[in-house]
Structure formats: C-alpha cells, structure tokens
Amino acid sequence: MGLSPTVDQRLGLDPGGDLTMGFDPTEDQRLGLGPMGDLTIGLGPTEDQRLGLDPVGDLTMGLGPTEDQRLGLDPVGDLTMGLGPTEDQRLGLGPRGDLTMGLGPGGDLTRGLDSTEDQRLGLGPVGDLRMGLGPTVDQKLGLGPVGDLTMGLGPGGDLTMGLDPTEDERVGLGHVRDLTLGLGPTEDQRLGLGHVGDLLMGLGPTEDQRLGLSPGGHLTGLGPGGDLTMGLDPTEDERVGLGHVRDLTLGLGPTEDQRLEFGQVGDLLIDLRLGLGPGGDLTMGLGPTEDQRLGLGPVGELTMRLGPTEDESLGLGLVGDQTMGLDPTVDQRLGIGPVGDITMELGPTVDQRLGLGPVGELTMRLGPTEDESLGLGLVGDQTMGLDPTVDQRLGIGPVGDITMELGPTVDQRANDATRPYGRSKLGIRPCGRLNDGTRPYGRLNIGNRPCGTYNDGTRPYGISKVGTRHFGRSNDGTRPCGRIKDGTRPCGRSNDGTRLYGRSKEGTRHFGRSNDGTRSYG
C-alpha cells in the first residue's frame, strides 16, 4: 500500500507477500497467512478454528468443510454466510459467484440461523436492523430503542460489536480511534490502519485480492483531489469521505475530525449527520449552500420518505430508477418502488434484489440483455446499467464530475457540439425559451420573458423598461421599476401627481376622512 517493507502497521505484507499481522513467521497469533499462504487466525494448521482459508484455499469460519456455519466460501468458492449451497440466505456469492443479499424466507437479512432466532443480522421482532444481539443490547449496528438509525457506538463513542466496554476486542475504534481487530493498543496488528490512520488492505500491487484498490493503492472513485480513497501515503488526505473540515474518516488522531458524522462529544449535529438535511435531503454534512448532495437536483433530490405523497425513492427518476432486481412477487426488497425506484418499502409486490449478474458483475438485475452493472462500463465508467444505449453513469463524467446522466439523450442536455461540456449555445432550452446565442449561457436577450413582461433589449437581463407590468400597473418608462407616477392607484386613492409616490394630497381618504391638503398625510 505504498509503505516500506519494514513498516509494521500494515495489515500488510510479509517478506513473501503474505498478508500477516506483523508477527514473526514462527508465531502462531498472526491474523495473516499460514505456511501455505492461507489466511488463518493464528492457530496451527491442523486446527479448525482459523478465520482464514481451509486446505483448498476457501475462506471459512474455522469449522469443518461439512459444517454450515462458515463465514467464508462454500465448496465451489462462493462467499456465503455459512448456509448450504441450496439455501438462499447467504450474504455472499450465488451458485455462479454472484453476490446476493441473502434474504431469509421472511424477508429478513439473516446470518443463516433459524427464523425464530434473534441473532440474525437482519430485522428484529419489530423490524429493527440489528447485529443479532438481544433487544436490550445497545451495540446494535442498526436501529436504536426508538427506531433511530445509529452507528452502534459504545459508551466511549467507539464503534463496537456488542462486547463489554472494558473489552478491547471491538471491531470498532481503538483508544486513538483506530479501527482495530481487538488487540492491545500497543500492538501493531490493526486490521487496516497504518502509522497515520490509513485504511490499508496490505496486499501487493499485482495481487488480485485487493478490496477495490487500484495499482497505486487507491480506492478509485472520484477525482484526485478529494477522492474517495483507501489508504494513501501518510502525507495525503486518506479520508474515506468529503471535505477538509467535515471529512468522513476512519481512525485518525484524536484531535482530528475523524468523526463518522458525529461531533466531538458524540452528539448528532445538524450539519454532520449521515441522514437528512434541513430540507429532508440526504446530505453528507456540508453547508446548505454547497452542492455536494449525494442525490439529484432540486426537483429530484435523494430523500428519506418525507411525505406520503412525495417521491421517497432513494434512487433516480421515473424512467431510470435504481432497482435491486428481484422478482416482482418477492417481498424481501431492500426498498424498490413499483417502477423500480429504491424506496423505503412502498409496494408489497416490488422487485428488491441486490446482487450480481450472470457474468459476476454487480448489477441491479433489470434484464439479462441489459448492462445492469453497478460497476464499470465499457470505458471504465461506473454505470447504473439500465439500458444499453443510455449513459446512466453513476460514476465519472467527461470532466470527472459525478453525474447521473439518466435520460436517453445523455443528461437531458441538448448539445450541438458548440460548447465543450454539452451545453448547447443555440437552440431551444429545456424550459422552452429560445436561445439565440446572444447570451453566454443560453438566456435570450431579446424577446418575451416567461412571466409575461416584454423585453425590448434595453435592459441587460431581460427586464422591460417600457410596457405593461405583469400585475396590471402601467409603466410609461418614467419610473425605473415600472410604477406609473400619474394615474389612479390600485388601492382607489387618486394620484394627482403632487405627491412623490402616488398619494393624493387633496381628496377623500379611503377610510372616510376628508383631506383638504392641510395635513401632510391626509
């Protein structure tokens, strides 16, 4: 991952390129590779409890090859949750290596236990997403006692797996907020963080076991300055998140802003939450004036089911929705709407699968002939895979922007090739106003404004100086904002021109008192 071979904090590589925990090759406690290159938990090669690879290289939970509880690969190399090859609840790969959601018969995301057991990794008795602990356990990775989505923080604000607060084996944050595997604070065997808190995988650049890392060790996604990365050099910004002051990071120093969207004292702040913004949009905790929302535009923002009449889809529009790809009669949806929107379980007969396509790509399972890959397209773009002719990339645009590019005309922009980034300089704008090319961004300088006020070109932004104002008052050009100085005022008071703003100095006031001009205000 860019560290020297002597660096000990890698999850990283031993001299032979094996993934070790930094112990000597003769030590048994490594979480790295065994003598045959298998990932073990540090027991002998004959012991069954290893968290690593079985004799044929499959990642198991440490049980025998005939046991169902393994957390690793089945006999054909599929990553399962420990169920049999005929069971559908696996959290891993299908019979052909597809990544499935592994929903149980009741629609709950389970760990392969019985439907009556409470340890499932899915929904609890009241529909809460939990880690499989009891209803009174607070370390759930799902919903809190009142149904709020929490991160499962322990008493000290660390992400734990439900252990006692005094235990160090949490798969959460260590003493300095590093993601550890439960070892001591002075040990080097952290599962991911380097010297300065980098999340590392520890594999070689030529190995294929990377968890999404490019040859340079980056988790490729966005641009080079503020990217969603995964273990850069110590001088780089290894954030797994956003900007400098509100980055979604994972275990830097205690004085840094490593909160996982929580504040310094663990409070759920307005701007830092991983949930809804002030207007109900799913934001990443940026300012209200910034455009870094994780959703769509002003009329199609990523929401979290605000009102029953709103489009609470967690996905896209009506014709390019992100779907999960189950059969229409399956009820285990992860929240798909009637037309394929990722929703919060609106309809009961919706297609809710999340998995891989026939060729092993992460797809949305729309149709066998469609490119539903949620991965990379033909040119390396992350696509939504709705229609083969549509460029619905959820990834990188021509200039490196994250675009949605849904419509059949690619981003619904009329592009006559006169502008470099797809903005048409000549033609009809999407709102129907003609663009004659006289304005740089398609605004017509001369013509009728959409609100009905005439634009004769005398004003720079299309405001007519002479004409009839849209609310009925005549503008003879004598006043800059279209108010006539002489005439009858709309409220019924006569204006004889003697007063500046149209108030008559002589006459009867509208509430019955006569004004003979002797008083300044009637």
The Cα 72–Cα 82 span in angstroms is: 7
Q: What is the pLDDT of residue 440?
A: 40
Q: What is the pLDDT of residue 47?
A: 35
Q: What is the pLDDT of residue 518?
A: 54
Q: What is the pTM of this model?
A: 0.12
- Supply 343's token pair: 């929703």
Q: What is the pLDDT of residues 98-118, one digit of tens each?
A: 333 333 333 333 333 333 333
Instruction: Please give the average per-residue pLDDT across 343-367, as a whole number.
Output: 27
- % pLDDT > 70, the chain: 0
Domain spans in the chain, listed from the N-terminal domain onward: 492-522
Q: What is the pLDDT of residues 235-251, one digit of tens each?
A: 333 333 322 222 222 22
The Cα 74–Cα 229 span in angstroms is: 31
Q: What is the pLDDT of residues 88-99, one digit of tens each?
A: 332 333 333 333
Contact call for residues 332 and 324 (beta carbons, < 8 A): no
Q: What is the pLDDT of residues 150-159, one digit of tens each?
A: 333 333 333 3
Q: What is the pLDDT of residues 423-457, one digit of tens each?
A: 333 333 344 343 443 444 334 344 444 444 444 44
Q: What is the pLDDT of residues 505-519, one digit of tens each?
A: 444 444 444 455 555
Identity of the residue numbered 224:
P
Contact call for residues 67 and 86 (beta carbons, < 8 A): no
Collapsing DSSP to helix, strand or coil, 41 comes out as coil
Cα pseudo-dihedral 375, 376, 377, 383, rounded to 10: 50
Is pLDDT above 50 for 258? no
In terms of Cα–Cα distance, which of 90, 98, 96 is closest to 71? 90
Cα 431-433-434 angle, rounded to 5 deg = 135
Is pLDDT above 50 for 163? no
